Structure 1
Amino acid sequence: MHNPSQPSLFRIAGLPYFVIAFVARLPFAMMVVGVLTVVVSARESLSLGGLTSAAVGLGTACFGPLLGAAADRFGQRPVLVVLAVANAAALVAFTFVVYSAAVDVFVLLAAFGIGATAPQVAPMSRSRLVTIIADRMPEQNRQRTISGTMAYESAADETVFVFGPFLVGILASAIAPWAPLAIAAILIVVFVGAFGLHPSARAVSKQRNADGSAPSAVGELFRPQLLIVLIGTLGVGLFFGTMLTALTSFMADRGAAEQAGVLYGVMGVGSAILALGVAWLPPRFSMRARWLAFSGILLAGTLLLPFVDSPGAMMVALGIMGAGIGPTLVTQYSFGAARSPLGRSATVMTMLGSAIVVGQSLGAALTGQIAENVGTSTALVLPIIAAAVAFTAGIVNWRLSAIHRRRVD
């Protein structure tokens, strides 16, 4: 039972924090699809659109972890304020390049710039909240609070990653193909700026500096126990990219490509609800067992894809996948939080976030090429491979967790 004299995380951080952090991550979810939409419209090339989306992911892969390391070194506030301005400028510049007579290479470079300056709001929010929990909450409440926080954060990510593409579609249809990127740029300046300037950023930075202990060596980031979590989240990212693109191709074959986002939402809503439910699972259902169980459900759902022949059957398969994907992601982030080396929390969370974006971008680009050149049935095999990556990483993690536990004992 909660002791009223002990502060809850919600009370410590405050409602405005959660509102700002939620809206601030929305532009990140709009970027990949927004870039694809405007390129296909302005340049009339689906393959260039896919490559451009992959360039955004590549930019995030190259610079995302470095931005996380910069936040650990200099504090989140200065890093986020600079990125809010830089990323908004990159989105505006990209829009001008796409509609100009510039050759395709400059379009790809501009897209890379969007990914390179993308503010890592979700991982930095996780890092910020985990630090607050460690610094300001009673020890007996920490593990359950961290589990609940990771569940909330993953559910928030799921929600924006479903709502982001949906919003892009509405804005592009109602106003113009460039509108989603323009709106995203405004949201970045206002909400990412507000997230960076929120008092919690200063509190975390102060605590880090006051601690007096030097952060762990960079080599600690490459321990097998952490790398396997990174591979697992890459598998989840690959699943997001391959599934959405294969689903779009599946619906396009039926003359209703625009309904792909609605069907995808079925998976996203169920996933977000179950992700929140992870916090209430009994402690004896261990994290390593959760990873295997829920990624197994995800894999089982994808194995239905070769036999799906109607939108109704696809909804059933997506519902099963949704039951697995959200809890899997929550568990992976919980492992990331538990295994973060001292003083490297933002770096680790950004590495995991970057792995998802990279997987999503590469999965979407590859699936788009296969769907266009080989066919939808072949494209629908790729989500199975992606789910198998996440599940296999869970098997390896089970073994690594057992080794780690014996060493600790």
Structure 2
Amino acid sequence: MPALLGALALQGAMFGACQAGIAALTGRLGQAEQAGLVYAAMGVMSAVAGLAMAAVPERVGARTRWRLATGAALALSLPLPGTTGLPGLYAVVTVLGVAYAPHLITVFGLLERAVAPSRLAEAMGLATSALVGGQALAVAGTGRLAESHGPWTAFTAASTAAGLAFVLALTVRPTTYASGPENALHARVRDTQPH
């Protein structure tokens, strides 16, 4: 579970760093009003990719999907630091959105399998907090960097977070919660009747 929460925190960091970089770049280009639209384009593409996840065959396991999503996020984020114009920003960020929802869906699915049913609400609360916390920390940290050193610093942080998420997906083997009698929510009944 800690590794999955870490994966969500890293995805949040990608969101936050992208947000800071987008705001800084559109501001430098004198088109700050475009920042929300650029971020929205990424969100729309992410939503489309999330809906398309229903078509992924069941034989493609969750660990494989996790690796593919994080690998795609890394590969698609690499052009970010070199992006200097608005058309390029729209193109790179929109395409990057393809990796976001599949990663979220997969990690939440892995998390659901990793915890006891009685702890699911708590686990999902922690997962959401990890995602939002990662985003908040990244916006705070990379926002200052982007303002003082340029948007490329925030975009580099986003790519770094994607790389760390990919390494995590390659190295961690999420476990599945094994429900046994000791984890049952009902009272135990003896296997044999007393004599």
Aligned partner of 2:17: which letter?
T
The alpha carbon displacement at 1:375 in A equals 2.1
- Please point out which of 119, 133, 137 is paired with 1:362: 137
The whole-number CA distance in structure 2 between the counterparts of 1:237 and 1:306 is 18
- When you count helix as a share of all residues, which structure comes out higher? 1
Deviation digits for residues 229-249 of structure 1 (CA, Å, limit 9, x no counterpart): 111001111011110111100
SS in 2 for 1:380: helix
Q: Which residue of 1 aligns with 2:63?
A: 288
Post-superposition shift, 1:353? 0.1
Cα displacement (A) at 1:303 = 0.4
Task: Give the secondary-structure state (helix, strand or coil) at the position aligned to 2:57.
Answer: coil
Give the stretch that moved more between structures: 317-326 or 358-367. 317-326
Q: Does 1:386 align with 2:164?
A: no
Residues 308 and 299 of structure 1, relative CA distance in 2, 3 Å threshold = same
Q: Does 1:312 align with 2:91?
A: no
Q: Which amino acid aligns with 1:354?
A: S
Q: Please, what TM-score do these two structures have when normalized by structure 1?
A: 0.42
Give the 4+ runs in structure 1 shifted more than 6 A.
Answer: none
CA contact (8 A) 1:292 1:394 kept: yes
Task: Write the letter of the residue equivalent to 1:348.
Answer: A
Provide the rounded CA distance (Å) in 1 between the counterparts of 2:153 and 2:94: 21
Does the alignment pair 1:232 with 2:11? no
Contact persistence 2:18–2:158 (CA under 8 A): yes
* % identical aligned pairs: 31
Amino acid at match of 1:359: G
CA displacement, residues 33-61 of structure 1 (integer Å, 9 cap, x when unaligned) = xxxxxxxxxxxxxxxxxxxxxxxxxxxxx
Q: What letter is aligned with 2:139?
A: A
In the other structure, the counterpart of 1:303 is 78
CA contact 1:297–1:320 (8 Å) conserved in 2: no
**C-alpha distance in structure 1 between counterparts of 2:159 and 2:51, whole Å:** 25
Equivalent in the alignment of 2:53: 278
- Shift of residue 280 of structure 1? 2.1
Q: Indicate the SS of the match to 1:282.
A: coil
Q: In terms of mean alpha carbon deviation, does 321-330 or 386-395 score higher?
A: 386-395
Q: Conserved in 2, the CA contact under 8 Å of 1:228 and 1:393? A: yes
The answer as to whether partners of 1:248 and 1:257 remain within 8 angstroms in 2 is yes
Q: CA deviation at 1:254?
A: 0.3
Matched, 1:329 2:104: yes
Report what 1:258 is aligned to.
Answer: 33
Q: What is the aligned-residue RMSD (CA, Å)?
A: 1.7
**What TM-score, normalized by structure 2, do the two folds share?**
0.86
Alignment of 1:149-188 (within 5 A): none
Residue in 2 that maps onto 1:67: none
Please point out which of 99, 114, 120 is paired with 1:345. Answer: 120
Alignment partner for residue 20 of structure 2, among 234, 245, 258?
245
Cα separation, partners in 2 of 1:375 and 1:307, compared to 1, 3 Å: closer
Question: How far off is 1:306 after superposition?
Answer: 2.2
The answer to whether the Cα contact below 8 Å between 2:20 and 2:151 also exists between their aligned partners in 1 is no
Unaligned runs of 5+ in 1: 1-225
Report what 2:170 is aligned to: 395
Kept in 2: contact 1:298–1:320 (CA 8 A): no
